[in-house]
């Protein structure tokens, strides 16, 4: 969970990553517990993963070029 939090994601995006990927809940379970549609959970997780991928790519480029 610390790793997820290290990316500074919006609270909802981080929460649904934790609920589904760390705690193993399905979209339906997380949706029922949070009064939100499973599709909304899916979209928030997709946005979160896109942000994480972008940040990791930026870090990779910085390490290759030596710029921080």
Give CA–CA dist 33/4, Å, rounded: 21
| pLDDT, tens digit (0-9, with 9 covering 90-100), for 49-60 | 999 999 999 888
Give CA–CA dist 31/68, Å, rounded: 39
Give CA–CA dist 34/13, Å, rounded: 13
SS3 1: coil
pLDDT of res. 33: 96
Global pTM value: 0.81
SS3 38: helix
SS3 60: helix
- Topology, domain 2-62: Arc Repressor Mutant, subunit A (1.10.10)
Q: What tokens does 41 get?
A: 């959970």
């Amino acid at each position: 969970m610390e790793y997820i939090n290290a990316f500074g994601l919006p609270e909802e995006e981080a929460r649904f990553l934790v609920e589904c990927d760390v705690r193993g809940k399905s979209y339906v379970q997380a949706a029922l517990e949070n009064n939100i549609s499973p599709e909304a959970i899916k979209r928030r997780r997709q946005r979160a993963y896109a942000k994480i991928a972008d940040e990791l790519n930026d870090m990779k480029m910085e390490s290759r070029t030596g710029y921080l």
